[in-house]
Structure 1
Amino acid sequence: MIGTWTLVTPPTEEPVTLAEIKDHLRVSGTAEDSLLTLYAQMAREAVEEECWRALMAQTWDLYLDAWPADGVILLPRPPLQSVTHIKYTDEDGVTATFAATEYGVDTASEPGRVVLGPDADWPSVTLDSSNPITVRFVAGYADASEVPAMAKAAILLQLGEIYANREAVIVGSTPQVTPAVQRVLNLLRVRY
Structure 2
Amino acid sequence: MCASITAGWAAAILLAVFVLILLKLIYRQWTRRDVEWRIKVHHDAATEAAKLLKDWCAWLATISTAAIAANGFLAPSKDLCPFSASALAVLSIVAFILAIITTATLLLALPSIVARFDREGASLDNDFYEADAFAWAKTSANALIPLFRVGFIAGFQYLCFVVGGISFALHAALRYAQ
What TM-score comes out, normalization by structure 1 length? 0.21
Q: Give the number of the structure whose residues are more often helix, by fraction.
A: 2
More strand by share: 1
Greater relative CO (CA pairs within 8 A, separation 6+): 2
